[in-house]
Structure 1
């Protein structure tokens, strides 16, 4: 099946996206928004269940592409980065780049987050596709480093512009010295090649801790909850106040 076929005929779910801000803690500004999948039907399925159903029906890659199209349609007119989740297997489909050139406007600044929930089956082909995407101005992020199949090898092989650290490491970070050491080591490791984003920041104390560890970028409920196409200006003021430390 070709990726450029009419996806709406192949995909039966009604989906939409909510957007969660990602902050630059050094100047208290939003650098972008991650598009998070939501069920737009009356069923109100969780994103996990949507993915499971798509995998069971053999259309997970179609869900990927439909999700990207939906998020791009909603996000039109924005100037911040749009972080889009994608499975490595979708990138490895034979005519993915042709599909991308047809459906993705060049004016939208896109960051593709490689999901951690599946292994990479062909490193050389994936590297070649990512290099082609970079030539088109697309940036790459490794999602949830430290969870699933996201490993240091991805950083070495794929040279991503962003690395997102799994939310496990931010939970109760302020009182966990081992996690603090791990985050500090990652911050030092990536400092001259990739921007490190800590996910799952839900407490003031954990935000202050990553700030003092030298981490510049963060995402989480404490900074801004996912919302349907909405700027979180109230949270912006909140963060400004917190980070004057």
Structure 2
């Protein structure tokens, strides 16, 4: 079984073929009228190109024809011999984004990123875990993580990036952390089509590095719009079947509602920083936080306060019985864990 979206991103060569579907007589006539060769094989049109400049002009023409003929074209670029490692059909819009952000696509394709660690503490302020966050390499090309994931989503490469980021975090954790310390790793539900297949690389990395599955907590990435709750249940079930834990991020705002939390019943509930900010001074926020904690207690989840920057916020959360905390008060994301951190296993 294979998933094209998770496979390596092939470079676009300076010579090759552009394949188009659906192929039609009106489309072929318009392309020939513009001075290009095209051959039809079943439902696919094949156009050779001899330079990247000519490929760009061809894509511009196809954009005009797509509007004129009111058809949605799927495109596949192959190498000089007309053969790629695998077929990855993209829309014209996806290809346009790819070529206009080739620097970011190269970062994704070459895995030019690393994982930074942000500490997670218990009520005694001892480190019990770290969240792993995607960051640029120290001497590599700069990027904003949210921008990298957004371009990956727009180009259809988000499954590839999400899988690579998970494996990067697992490898980083194996090098830097002792067993028993929790490793919180983000994932995009939309990047996992079939959990039993799409997560095999994640589980294989944990096994290959002789890590304990119980140390890993996989959390739904904060900006993800969760449209298919049943599918997310399936993903959670697969993580748990492998002995790992799951978390729901940003609970209390946006898509991560209390109702969603109660439906998914994650092992960890991370309360959104908007609720935590100045919560010691805001009765409305306090009420919302207590409601989340009461509902989470019904299914035995541990509750974590995100984005703590002030000691007063931490003391309030500690005093009402919250389990864990994370934020700049305890440490910013760094390439290495604190040199002499005190941790609790």
User: What's the TM-score bracket when you normalise by the shorter of the two chains?
Assistant: 0.7 to 0.9
- State the 1:2 CA deviation: 3.8
TM-score norm. by structure 1 comes to: 0.85
Name the structure 2 match of 1:125. Answer: 231
**Displacement, 1:90?**
2.1
2:273 to 160, 167, 173: 167
The answer to whether residue 132 in structure 2 is matched with residue 17 in structure 1 is no
Residue 120 of structure 1 and its aligned partner are, at CA, apart by 2.8
1:50-129 aligned at under 5 Å gives the runs 50-76=148-174, 77-79=177-179, 80-93=181-194, 95-105=197-207, 107-108=212-213, 109-129=215-235
Is the counterpart of residue 209 in structure 1 residue 316 in structure 2? Answer: yes
Bigger-Rg structure (1/2): 2
Q: Is the 8 A contact 2:8 2:160 kept in 1?
A: no
Q: CA RMSD in A?
A: 2.5
Aligned pair count reads 235
Task: Find the partner of 1:39 among 98, 121, 136.
Answer: 136
Unaligned runs of at least 5 residues, structure 1:
238-245
Matching residue of 1:153:
259
Change (3 A) 1:100 1:75: closer
Q: What are the Cα deviations for residues 164-205 of structure 1, in whole angstroms up to 9, with x where unaligned?
A: 011001112222121112112222221242111010000111
Q: Go from structure 1 to structure 2 and tell me whether the alpha carbon gap of 1:207 and 1:180 turns closer, same or farther (over 3 Å shift).
A: same
Question: Is the 1:110–1:138 contact (alpha carbons within 8 Å) kept by the matching residues of 2?
Answer: yes
TM normalised by structure 2 equals 0.62
Q: Distance in 1 between matches of 2:220 and 2:127?
A: 21
The change in CA–CA distance for 1:211 and 1:232 in structure 2 (over 3 A counts) is farther
Q: CA deviation at 1:206?
A: 1.1
Q: 1:215 to 1:101 in 2, by over 3 A?
A: closer
Distance in 1 (alpha carbons) for counterparts of 2:173 and 2:268? 20
